[in-house]
Amino acid sequence: MVFEGLADKLQDTFKRLRGRGKLSETDVSEALREVRMALLEADVNFKVVKDFVSRVKERAIGQEVMDSLTPGQQVVKIVYDELAALMGGTQSRLNISSRPPTVIMLVGLQGAGKTTTAGKLANLLQRQNKRPLLVAADVYRPAAIKQLQVLGQQLDIPVFTLGDQESPVTIAQKSIDQANALLRDVVIIDTAGRLHINEELMQELRLIKGQAKPHEILLVVDAMTGQDAVGVAEAFNGQLGLDGVILTKLDGDARGGAALSIKAVTGCPIKFAGMGEKLDALEPFYPDRMASRILG
Ligand code: GDP
């Protein structure tokens, strides 16, 4: 599970700190040196770590004194608050349009989990009494359309496709008419990925954006790729403007660097977390619960 190494190290550090009655500035500095190392080893962005540690230090040494907590507990509390803040503070929800259909465009590189996530998100929304329509706009990867159709069948959710001969822009545009005709209130567009970011991909995504006018553009990225995921998020955000990120494969042994860096580096909140391959393995991303998982 994600954050395992980081959690072990931080819990170790804080166990020692909690045991002390009084804390000197040196005790705090020593603990924060360990926090810094642990975050860097978890592949958190260098500058994010630096800013994080200096915020914690300032608060811990300036000491907002709370009578109910020992000095050690207070430092832990500050770290917890700052970890949650780093991941966005509170849960970031989807932008649901007051005029249906709400259009959600999923973007990302190949293999990140985009098509699977389209199915999972449709499933989650259907459980919240929405009526999703899945749209197969990845016309380049041979199996992508079929893969989405299979997911749609499993979930009993319609899948809009025009095969692989129409342009993704046309498909996206016509899918909205189809949603209106079928009274579907959320359109989830599965766009094409590439192995690497390139101008052709971005151009196509910009055209789809222009045509489908999505309420949400969500980037699907693989948490296992660490700082690469952060770089991908920066690039997509710069080119398209993202409303949020879906971080997949948090059930794996990702160190957690992507989860802890993406919001701070790009400003884009993580809205959902992929926790497995099954169709019910998508959860809203709760920064405070993630922080608790790290600190135990
Ligand atoms: P795409 O190329 O981005 O559309 O990627 P796919 O949706 O085909 O997914 C690629 C692989 O990642 C598949 O084997 C998925 O089952 C797997 N996958 C997607 N999301 C998750 C996740 O949250 N956890 C795990 N363990 N595997 C995932």
Mean pLDDT of 99-127: 97
The pLDDT confidence band at residue 157, using thresholds 50, 70 and 90, is very high
Residue 196 structure tokens: 């690497």
> Which residue among 116, 123, 190, 195 has the greatest number of ligand 1 atoms within 8 angstroms of its CB, and so is best to mutate?
116
Return the pLDDT at 291: 97
Q: Is 181 annotated as a binding residue?
A: no
Peptide bond before 132: cis, by omega within 30 degrees of 0?
A: no
The pLDDT confidence band at residue 60, using thresholds 50, 70 and 90, is confident
Whole-angstrom distance, CA of residue 69 vs CA of residue 62: 15
Mean pLDDT of 221-237: 97
Return the pLDDT at 7: 96
Return the pLDDT at 61: 80
Whole-angstrom distance, CA of residue 80 vs CA of residue 292: 7
Q: At what angle do helices 168-182 and 199-212 cross, to 10 degrees?
A: 30
Return the pLDDT at 49: 98
List the beta bridge partners of residue 274.
282
Whole-angstrom distance, CA of residue 23 vs CA of residue 28: 7
Whole-angstrom distance, CA of residue 132 vs CA of residue 75: 45
Give the DSSP H/E element, type plus range, for residue 132. Answer: strand 132-137
Mean pLDDT of 229-248: 97
Q: Is 250 annotated as a binding residue?
A: yes
Ligand 1: which atom is nearest the Cα of residue 110?
2
Return the pLDDT at 68: 67
Mean pLDDT of 62-91: 85
Return the pLDDT at 66: 59
The per-residue b/e assignment along 73-93, b for 16 or more CB within 10 angstroms, e otherwise, is ebbbbbbbbbbbbbbbeeebe
List the beta bridge partners of residue 245.
219, 270
Q: Is the CB of 277 under 6 A from ligand 1?
A: yes
Residue with tokens 């971080």: 247
Q: Specify whether the CB–CB gap between 199 and 240 falls below 8 A.
A: no
What is the pTM assigned to this prediction? 0.96
Return the pLDDT at 88: 97
The pLDDT confidence band at residue 21, using thresholds 50, 70 and 90, is confident
Return the pLDDT at 6: 96
Q: Is 194 annotated as a binding residue?
A: yes
Residue nearest to atom 28 of ligand 1 (CA): 277
Dihedral of alpha carbons 133, 134, 139, 142, sign: negative
Mean pLDDT of 235-253: 97
**Residue with the larger pLDDT of the pair 74 and 51:** 51
Q: Is the CB of 283 under 6 A from ligand 1?
A: no
The pLDDT confidence band at residue 141, using thresholds 50, 70 and 90, is confident
Q: Any idea what DSSP says for residue 164?
A: B
- Quote the ligand 1 centre to 116 CA distance (angstroms): 6
Q: Is the CB of 5 under 6 A from ligand 1?
A: no
Whole-angstrom distance, CA of residue 35 vs CA of residue 8: 11
